[in-house]
């Protein structure tokens, strides 16, 4: 191995330590230096490690946390269409309960030689997760883009909706309808989009009503059942309106209101988040914050292909403005 490292280092004009870092997929090696080492492997007739073999220009991985929430198939469709139009084949990898983890899916895609990976709402959005996994991927020379959930410690382009602005839109709408006791139902606090929604919600509510926001915030799961449980708590605290962090949670909020003999929107107003497909056809049609899925998905594809093409986009966050879509689940507060 020592002789082999020495041969490769001499051919590439770099140190043996640099060759070792490249072969082991370690970060801290310039792209041009990495390419010189890999070219030296080819010239000397050594077989590249599996994870460093030439990548198929045709395959791009897309990792989503699930497909039950309709927002994720919506993202997958936009991203897949964008990749297909550019001549790439999308490879969809989805986590399932008790199934493959994000790390296992990433390894599977890298082993198959994908040209790059797009992560939607992955572990990058979890403030308690180890971001070293993305640095290792970076060290392997695999371009990637992260959607929904910014982490300053990860060197990659991010694509996100403006969660703070979303909550400002929702609270302002409900306040204009006469609601003062407005609740917020959302997922676990460790996630970046949750933290940002709380920031936007509390800032807007305090500007309007100078109120204590802590009792008006309820954490749960991003599911119909989670929205139902969270809303039950908020209604017990006197809320006349509830903003939910997903459309699925909002459907649970409507169920919670009806379980208590309340009607939506006459007794309780409900706002969702995402504007998922078919959500306009619920009963009542759901007022929601539309996440700009098409623009975000297209931006993720464009940015990744720039990375693949050797003209990296800035390692920063591209933030897209959401839109309030008013339908039938919000109405003026009914005064007792």
Show the tokens assigned to 287. Answer: 């007022």
2-52 against 59-161+292-320: fold identical? no
C-alpha distance from residue 294 to each of 75, 91, 307, 318, 322 (Å):
7, 19, 20, 14, 12
Long-range contacts of 20-23 (CB under 8 A, 24+ apart): 21/139, 22/52, 23/49, 23/52
Contact 70, 277 (CB under 8 A): yes
pTM for this model (two decimals): 0.81
Q: What is the pLDDT of residue 52?
A: 64
Q: What pairs with residue 116 in β-bridges? A: 60
264-298 confidence digits (pLDDT tens): 999 999 999 999 888 889 999 999 999 999 999 99
pLDDT higher than threshold 90 for residue 116:
yes
Instruction: Return the minimum-mean-pLDDT range out of 45-59, 246-260, 262-276.
Output: 45-59
Q: For residue 139, give every residue at least 6 positions away whose Cβ sits within 8 Å of its Cβ, in sequence order, or none.
A: 21, 25, 26, 27, 28, 29
Q: Which of 57, 53, 24 is nearest to 41 (CA)?
A: 53
Peptide bond before 265: cis, by omega within 30 degrees of 0?
A: yes
Greater pLDDT, 322 or 25: 322
The superfamily (CATH) of domain 2-52 is: lambda repressor-like DNA-binding domains (1.10.260.40)
The CATH fold of domain 59-161+292-320 = Rossmann fold (3.40.50)
Instruction: Tell the CATH superfamily of the 163-291 domain.
Output: Response regulator (3.40.50.2300)
Q: For the chain, what are the domain ranges?
A: 2-52, 59-161+292-320, 163-291
Q: For the residues 79-100, what does the mean pLDDT come to?
A: 88
Residue 124 CA to residue 192 CA, distance in Å, equals 9
- Residues 291, 294, 295: CA angle, nearest 5 degrees: 85
51-70 mean pLDDT: 79
């Amino acid at each position: 191995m020592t002789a082999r490292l020495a041969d490769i280092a001499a051919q590439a004009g770099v140190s043996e330590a640099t060759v070792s870092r490249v072969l082991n997929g370690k970060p801290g090696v310039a792209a041009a230096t990495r390419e010189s080492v890999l070219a030296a492997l080819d010239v000397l007739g050594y077989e590249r490690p599996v994870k460093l073999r030439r990548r198929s220009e045709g395959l791009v991985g897309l990792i989503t946390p699930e497909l039950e929430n309709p927002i994720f198939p919506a993202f997958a469709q936009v991203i897949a269409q964008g990749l297909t139009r550019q001549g790439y084949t999308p490879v969809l990898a989805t986590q399932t309960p008790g199934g493959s983890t994000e790390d296992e899916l990433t390894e599977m895609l890298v082993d198959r030689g994908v040209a790059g990976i797009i992560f939607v709402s992955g572990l990058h959005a979890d403030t308690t997760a180890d971001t070293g996994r993305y640095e290792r991927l970076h060290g392997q020379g695999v371009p990637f883009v992260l959607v929904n959930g910014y982490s300053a410690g990860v060197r990659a382009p991010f694509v996100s909706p403006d969660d703070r602005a979303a909550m400002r839109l929702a609270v302002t709408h409900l306040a204009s309808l006469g609601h003062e006791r407005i609740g917020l139902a959302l997922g676990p606090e460790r996630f970046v989009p949750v933290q940002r929604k709380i920031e936007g919600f509390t800032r807007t509510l305090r500007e309007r009503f100078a109120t204590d926001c802590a009792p008006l915030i309820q954490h749960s799961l991003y599911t119909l059942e989670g929205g139902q449980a969270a809303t039950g708590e908020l209604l017990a605290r006197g809320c006349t309106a509830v903003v939910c962090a997903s459309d699925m949670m909002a459907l649970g909020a409507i169920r919670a209101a009806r379980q208590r003999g309340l009607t939506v929107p006459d007794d309780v107003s409900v706002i969702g988040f995402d504007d998922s497909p078919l959500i306009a056809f619920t009963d009542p049609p759901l007022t929601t914050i539309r996440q700009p899925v098409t623009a975000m998905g297209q931006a993720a594809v464009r940015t990744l292909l720039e990375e693949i093409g050797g003209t990296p986009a800035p390692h920063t966050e591209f933030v897209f403005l959401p839109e309030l879509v008013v339908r039938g689940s919000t109405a003026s507060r009914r005064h007792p």
